[in-house]
Chain A
Amino acid sequence: MAFLLRRAAETLLVLLVLSVLVFLLTSMAPGDPAEEILRRGGIQPTAGSVAVLRAELGLDQPLPVRYVRWLSEVVRGDLGHSYVDRSPVTGEILARLPATLRLAGAAALVAGGLAVLASLRPRGLGGRVVTAVTVVVASVPPYIVGILLISVVAVGLRALPTGGDSGPGALVLPALTLGLAGAATLTRLLRADLAQALALPFVRLAAAKGLSARRAVTVHALRVAAPNAITAGGAVLADLVAGAVVVETLFSWPGVGQLAISAIRQRDVPVVQAYVLVIGAATVLLLALVDLCLAAADPRVRRR
Chain B
Amino acid sequence: MRRRAAIVVPAMLLGMVLSGCGGSPEAQEDAGLLTLAAPRDLVAGPQDPYFTHQTLRVWEPLVNVDDKLRPVPALATSWESAEGGRRWTFTLREGVRFSDGTALNAEAVVANVQRFLRIAPRQSAFFSLDAGMEAAYGQLEEVRADGGRVTFELRRPVADLPGRLAGFFSMVQSPKAFAASGDFAANPVGTGPYTLARWVKGQQAELAANPHYYGAAPAYKKIVVKVIPDANARVAALRAGEVDGLIDKGALLSGQVAAVAADSRFRVVRSPSALTHYLTFNGSREPFSDPRLREAAELAIDRRTIAEKLLAGTAKPGAAFLSPVFGDLSDPGVAASYDPARARALVSAAGRPAAPVTILISSAETGQFPYTDVAEVLRAAFEQAGLPAKVTMAEATKAVMEAGDYDVFLSAYSVPNGDADYLFRRFLRSDAAWNVDRKLGYRSQEFDALVDQAATETGQAERRDLYRRLQRLLAADRPMIPLAYQDNPVVTTTGVGGVVQNAAYVVDLGKLTPSSG
Contact = CB atoms under 8 A, between A and B. Distances in A.
Given A31-B399, A38-B130, A44-B427, A254 B242 contact: no
Interface string B220-245: 00000011111011001101111000
B131 A167 contact: no
Nearest to B276: A42
Nearest to B415: A43
Contact of A85 (B44, B396, B412): B44
A37 B414 contact: no
A79 B42 CA distance: 24
B202 A258 contact: yes
A95 B240 CA distance: 28
Interface in A41-80: 41-49, 52-53
Contact of A164 (B132, B203, B413): B203
Contacts of A83: 123
A299 interface: no
Nearest to A91: B201
A113 B8 contact: yes
B229 A163 contact: no
Contacts of B379: none
A215 interface: no
Interface residues of A, number: 74
Contacts of A121: 1
B124 to A, nearest CB: 6
Given A154-B236, A163-B233, A164-B226, A86 B123 contact: yes
A249 interface: yes
B128 A249 contact: no
Given A86-B123, A121-B1, A126-B5, A171 B128 contact: no
The 6 closest A-B CB pairs, nearest first, are: A168-B20, A30-B396, A31-B396, A49-B121, A42-B414, A86-B47
Given A49-B128, A165-B23, 4 more contacts: A35-B398, A164-B228, A169-B17, A262-B229
27 contacts: A32-B398, A40-B124, A40-B125, A40-B128, A41-B126, A42-B413, A43-B415, A44-B413, A46-B131, A47-B437, A113-B12, A116-B8, A126-B2, A126-B5, A154-B240, A155-B239, A158-B240, A163-B228, A163-B236, A164-B242, A165-B203, A166-B24, A167-B24, A168-B17, A250-B230, A252-B228, A258-B202
Interface of A: 29-32, 35-49, 52-53, 83-87, 92, 95-96, 98, 102, 105-106, 109-110, 113, 116-117, 120-121, 124-127, 147, 150-151, 154-155, 158, 161-172, 175, 249-252, 254, 258-259, 261-262, 265, 267
